[in-house]
């Protein structure tokens, strides 16, 4: 009767481990590296349970099928112990490294790698001896009735993975305080429980306690992973919400930087002057001013990327306002070789503004700003170049304002379209380069 319950429990345990391994595999996108280790552990535990059930069923069966079933099943039972020790070591150390990295500490890769290599080496030696036992009586043998008997070296066979697992646990204990509660349970489950199972079987062979411990290990591993998975998913949602709030704050700062009272005041004064001298130009300047304000207000109310041509229109409206001031004399050149892409609104315009207000400041009519776009492979390059003397003449307040604007643009590019921004001084001026993937995040077809 006990044997029937024993076998039934083992088969149930194997099925449970297989189902949970599939469930973890399906959820792997959230924690892929951790999921791989857990799937291997669950499958190893499942093989251990089912193999031991088959070994129990066919022991004493003298048929040809029974002969091979008993030998293969026993081999898989003992081989699973070595595999579990290696996978458990890698799985546990992976969680420790992840915790150390999350806490901003250096990852102790060297000692962990050495221990993993030791576990792999010892397990490989044990596995080789186990294979040899199929041909020479080292750990166990079978009698003429196809019954299993352990030999004097049999305890060594189970002590080796037990010692490896204990070493793994002792190594992880030094960083236990860094781990979450679920991770602690996982490490204990995949080290202490299998170790206890191996030691138990050494003294109580034939009783289901060892396999029950293996099945219990699988249950705890899955439940703790599920709890951890849900917690991590909630943490990711909170992080996304935090970044979204931060992004909204950056957009507000962008607006504060862009719509500055003195710029609006100067633009209105320039338009007023044109009304007396050149009414037609005044009307155009007023239209540009309205377009510039509209674009800035749209940027505040929407977080969607816009076609580059719309950004270019805003740039031209801004440049027209700057040139409406009789005291502002500079030239701008547009080399638009590619425009079929989307970009976060008001990311190029601030760079053009920096080039005009800081780059070519003081050059007068010799000041030149060049805006160009090119498609090179799978990347789009937007360059804003000027022939100024750099930013050496700007005040501390101007430098701070420019830095905030650049950082704002850099973050919005990274967040919205996986883009980058770099600044280089060529000796003959400054070049700002914006690089975005042709099909980056939030990119669309025009």
pLDDT tens, position by position, 252-297: 555 555 545 556 766 777 787 778 777 887 888 888 888 777 776 6
Closest CA to 4 of 48, 73, 57: 57
Please indicate, yes or no, whether residues 345 and 228 belong to a single structural domain of this protein: no
Q: Where are the beta strands (DSSP E) in 133-290?
A: 140-142, 148-150
Listed range (124-138, 177-191, 308-322) with the worst mean pLDDT: 177-191
Please indicate, yes or no, whether residues 48 and 79 belong to a single structural domain of this protein: yes
Please indicate, yes or no, whether residues 229 and 263 belong to a single structural domain of this protein: no
Q: Answer yes or no: is 274 within a domain.
A: yes
Q: Answer yes or no: is 182 within a domain.
A: yes
Structure tokens at 117: 């290599």
CA pair distance 403, 288, nearest whole angstrom: 27
**Is 304 a residue whose pLDDT tops 90?**
no
CA pair distance 209, 201, nearest whole angstrom: 8
The enclosing domain of 414 has a CATH number of 3.30.565.10
Please indicate, yes or no, whether residues 227 and 268 belong to a single structural domain of this protein: no
Look-up of token digits 């129990």: 56
What single-letter DSSP state applies at residue 388?
Answer: S
Count: domains in the chain? 2
Q: Answer yes or no: is 417 within a domain.
A: yes
Q: Answer yes or no: is 250 within a domain.
A: no
Please indicate, yes or no, whether residues 268 and 417 belong to a single structural domain of this protein: yes
Q: Answer yes or no: is 442 within a domain.
A: no
pLDDT average, residue stretch 308-321: 88
Structure tokens at 258: 């862009």
Structure tokens at 302: 């929407």
Please indicate, yes or no, whether residues 282 and 335 belong to a single structural domain of this protein: yes
Closest CA to 62 of 146, 149, 147: 146
pTM exceeds 0.85, yes or no? no
Please indicate, yes or no, whether residues 100 and 210 belong to a single structural domain of this protein: yes
Please indicate, yes or no, whether residues 292 and 197 belong to a single structural domain of this protein: no
Boundaries of domain holding 293: 259-437
Please indicate, yes or no, whether residues 214 and 327 belong to a single structural domain of this protein: no
Q: Tens digit of pLDDT for each residue in 111-139? A: 677 888 888 888 888 889 888 888 888 88
Q: Tens digit of pLDDT for each residue in 4-23? A: 767 777 787 778 788 878 87
Compute the mean pLDDT over every residue in the chain, rounded to the nearest whole number.
77
| Predicted local confidence at residue 441, as pLDDT | 46
CA pair distance 410, 421, nearest whole angstrom: 6
**Is 373 a residue whose pLDDT tops 90?**
yes
CA pair distance 275, 121, nearest whole angstrom: 87
**Which of 241, 272, 295 lies at the terminal end of a domain, its last residue?**
241
Residues in Cβ contact with 187 at an 8 Å cutoff, skipping those fewer than 6 apart:
92, 95, 169, 172, 179
What single-letter DSSP state applies at residue 355?
Answer: I
Look-up of token digits 């009304």: 275
User: Residue 361: which H helix or E strand, with range?
Assistant: none
**R_g over Cα of the chain:** 35
| Predicted local confidence at residue 442, as pLDDT | 46
Torsion, CA 52, CA 55, CA 56, CA 62, rounded to 10: 180
CA pair distance 28, 22, nearest whole angstrom: 10
Q: Answer yes or no: is 246 within a domain.
A: no
User: Helix (H) and strand (E) counts for the chain?
Assistant: 12, 9
| Predicted local confidence at residue 321, as pLDDT | 82
Please indicate, yes or no, whether residues 297 and 237 belong to a single structural domain of this protein: no
Q: Tens digit of pLDDT for each residue in 393-430? A: 445 555 555 566 687 788 878 877 889 999 998 888 89
423: how many CB neighbours lie within 10 A of its CB?
14
Of 368 and 164, the one with more pLDDT: 368
pLDDT average, residue stretch 183-189: 80
The enclosing domain of 126 has a CATH number of 1.20.1070.10
Q: Answer yes or no: is 150 within a domain.
A: yes
Please indicate, yes or no, whether residues 301 and 161 belong to a single structural domain of this protein: no
Q: Answer yes or no: is 248 within a domain.
A: no
CA pair distance 71, 55, nearest whole angstrom: 8
Please indicate, yes or no, whether residues 25 and 154 belong to a single structural domain of this protein: yes
């Amino acid at each position: 009767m006990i044997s029937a319950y024993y076998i039934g429990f083992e088969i149930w345990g194997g099925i449970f481990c297989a189902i949970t391994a599939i469930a973890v595999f399906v959820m792997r996108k959230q924690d892929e590296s951790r999921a791989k280790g857990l799937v291997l552990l669950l499958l190893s535990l499942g093989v251990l349970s089912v193999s031991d059930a088959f070994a129990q069923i066919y022991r004493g069966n003298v048929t040809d099928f029974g002969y091979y079933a008993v030998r293969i099943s026993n081999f898989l039972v003992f081989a699973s112990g070595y595999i579990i020790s290696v996978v458990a070591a890698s799985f546990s150390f992976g969680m420790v490294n992840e915790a150390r990295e999350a806490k901003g500490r250096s990852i102790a890769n060297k000692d962990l790698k050495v221990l993993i290599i030791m576990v792999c080496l010892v397990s490989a030696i044990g596995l080789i001896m186990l294979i040899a036992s199929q041909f020479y009586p080292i750990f166990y043998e079978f009698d003429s009735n196809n019954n299993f008997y352990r030999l004097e070296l049999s305890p060594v066979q189970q002590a080796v993975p037990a010692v490896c697992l204990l070493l793994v646990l002792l190594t992880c204990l030094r960083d236990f305080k860094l781990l979450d509660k679920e991770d602690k349970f996982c490490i204990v489950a995949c080290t202490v429980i299998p170790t206890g199972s191996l030691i138990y079987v050494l003294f109580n062979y034939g009783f289901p306690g060892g396999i029950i411990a293996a099945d219990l290990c699988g249950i705890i591993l899955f439940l703790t992973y599920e709890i951890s998975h849900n917690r991590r998913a909630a943490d990711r949602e909170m992080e996304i919400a935090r970044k979204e709030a931060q992004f909204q704050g950056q957009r507000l700062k962008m607006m504060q930087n862009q719509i500055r009272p003195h710029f609006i005041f100067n633009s209105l004064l320039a338009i007023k002057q044109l009304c007396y001298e050149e009414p037609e130009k005044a009307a155009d300047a007023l239209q540009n001013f309205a377009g510039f304000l509209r674009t800035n207000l749209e940027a505040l109310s929407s977080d969607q990327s816009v076609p580059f041509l719309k950004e270019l229109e805003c740039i031209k409206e801004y440049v027209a306002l700057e040139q409406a001031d009789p005291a502002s004399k500079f030239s701008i050149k547009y080399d638009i070789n590619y425009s079929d892409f989307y970009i976060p609104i008001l990311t190029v315009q601030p760079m053009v503004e920096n080039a005009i207000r800081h780059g070519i400041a003081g050059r007068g009519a010799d000041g030149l700003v060049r805006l160009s776009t090119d498609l090179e492979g799978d990347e789009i390059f937007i360059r804003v170049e000027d022939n100024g003397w750099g930013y050496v003449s700007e005040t501390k307040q101007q430098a701070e304002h420019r830095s905030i604007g650049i950082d704002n643009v850099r973050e919005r590019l990274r967040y919205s379209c996986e883009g980058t921004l770099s600044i280089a001084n060529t000796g003959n001026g400054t070049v700002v380069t914006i690089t975005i993937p042709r099909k980056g995040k939030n990119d669309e077809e025009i």
